[in-house]
Amino acid sequence: MDLVIKDARLTGREGLVDIGVEGGRIAALEPGLRGGEEISAEGNLVSPSFYEIHIHLDAILTEGDPRPNRSGSLWEGIAIWAERAKRLSREDVRARVLKALPWFVAHGVTHIRTHVDVCDPSLTALKALLEIKAEVAGLIDVQVVAFPQLGMFSFEGGDALVRQALELGADVIGGIPHYEITREYGVQNVKFALSLAHESGLPVDIHCDETDDDHSRFLETMAAETLRLRLSGRVAASHATAMHSYNNAYADKVIGNVKRAGLHVICNPPDNAVLQGRFDHYPIRRGLTRVKELLAAGVNVAAGHDSVMDPWYPMGKGDPLHTAFVLLHYGLMSGREDRAQLFPMLTSRPAAVWHNRRVHGGEGLEGHAVAVGNPADLVVWPVPTEDDALRTLPMRRYVLKRGKVVAETRPEVSYVQGEAVRFLR
């Protein structure tokens, strides 16, 4: 074996096991393995690596520039970004993104999907991100979404810029129907994106209904167009926060059609926890999409961070575990069965989005698990269980990309009166 992880604990498996890696893939799961390189999990958890399935790297680390988001709203964030985007340069984008990417890697991210604003005739940020994608390929895989932040039809030439971005090498078609001036433009936004996917063979990831307005109903259009064009498994709806405000009868209908169409849904708990409900007095809506109901219906739901230190979200350090921690509280997912859904929403479920797999129950989620034959994209934790990871939010001990250690954190130990404290039962 090229590498062996000794004494690993796997979720759902009794006892400890060694993980043998050969040629960048998991070759064996059994005790007593030997390898050219060996590291010890010391009886702690080894999990699949994280897929950060929704982030905006073009805006990362711009919080407060040119001014802070005083209202905390999505709309003020978009206005601030429109000002900041006028000063984008290749050097600016490269410096910020290359500074932040190691944060994600250190936290166990081996795949990252970034939305990039293409409402810029020069496509400065897009070109810079495509350069970076090629440069960091051995460290982290990057997908680039052509995202028309100001609309495809409300922003003059937005649709043409999306096409141009795809010609330059963008991987995914984006959209933002709820930001268009009229509902008709919003429907046109969805239809254009999915028709382009049908024509090009590329996947789609649309910012959909990211509002508290219960009349924002573009998710139904996404489901209908996905069915019409037979794009099941290739289309993701990000945010879908208006679903929180739908009446229950309509929400039930939409969830059924989302399942029927094979749409993926991507929730973004850190950002939407602070962006939604800004027009409410008390009670203030949480503004998260109906995660538990979607999961119960068999819809593939993944979780993304969305922003790190930008006009929409001033916090963050590139850790998907923070996303799950927020979702546990904000999404009322503290029950044992609900908690068991959180790690898959950062690992196997976003992997299905990335690889355009339709999910039926557990089918479609096998490709990113600690299993023989799968890529050795792994995280070695300093704690024994997923619950312990969610509770203590520790740094990752080792991160492996295709069987190679790409990040390592030396153990952090606290002492009280000379005795080591581990925060474990």
Q: What is the pLDDT of residues 3-36, one digit of tens each?
A: 999 999 999 999 999 999 999 999 999 999 999 9
pLDDT over 90 percentage in the chain: 94
Structural domain for 123, as ranges? 50-354
CATH of the domain at 395: 2.30.40.10
CATH of the domain at 104: 3.20.20.140
pLDDT over 70 percentage in the chain: 100
Residues 43 and 58 in one domain: no
The pair of three-digit structure tokens given for residue 117, joined into one six-digit string: 């604003």
Residues 165 and 31 in one domain: no
Residues 278 and 407 in one domain: no
Residues 386 and 333 in one domain: no
Q: Is there a domain that residue 280 lies in? A: yes
Q: Is there a domain that residue 360 lies in? A: no
Residues 320 and 346 in one domain: yes
Residues 130 and 26 in one domain: no
Pairing label, strands 141-147, 172-175: parallel
Residues 77 and 208 in one domain: yes
Q: Can 210 be counted among the known catalytic residues?
A: yes
Q: 2 forms bridges with which residues in the sheet?
A: none
Residues 324 and 413 in one domain: no
Q: Is there a domain that residue 359 lies in? A: no
Of 411 and 213, which is predicted with more confidence? 213
Mean pLDDT of 118-123: 97
Q: Is there a domain that residue 57 lies in? A: yes
pLDDT (0 to 100) of residue 182: 98
Domain count, the chain: 2
- pTM, two decimal places: 0.96
pLDDT (0 to 100) of residue 17: 98
pLDDT (0 to 100) of residue 96: 98
Residues 8 and 123 in one domain: no
Residues 292 and 330 in one domain: yes
Q: Is there a domain that residue 363 lies in? A: no
Residues 228 and 267 in one domain: yes
The predicted-structure confidence for 143-197, as pLDDT tens digits, reads as follows: 999 999 999 999 999 999 999 999 999 999 999 999 999 999 999 999 999 999 9
Q: Is there a domain that residue 364 lies in? A: no
**Residue 366's pLDDT band (boundaries 50, 70, 90)?**
confident
Q: Is there a domain that residue 326 lies in? A: yes
Among the candidates 354, 379, 408, a domain finishes at 354
Query: Given 180, 210, 225, 386, which residue is catalytic?
Result: 210
Mean pLDDT of 99-108: 98
- In this structure, of 83-87, 113-117, 144-148, the range with the lowest mean pLDDT score is 83-87
pLDDT (0 to 100) of residue 159: 98
Average predicted confidence (pLDDT) for the chain:
97
Among the candidates 354, 378, 407, a domain finishes at 354
Mean pLDDT of 395-422: 94
Q: Is there a domain that residue 362 lies in? A: no
The predicted-structure confidence for 273-291, as pLDDT tens digits, reads as follows: 999 999 999 999 998 999 9
Residues 28 and 72 in one domain: no
pLDDT (0 to 100) of residue 409: 96
The predicted-structure confidence for 323-343, as pLDDT tens digits, reads as follows: 999 999 999 999 999 999 999
**Residue 120's pLDDT band (boundaries 50, 70, 90)?**
very high
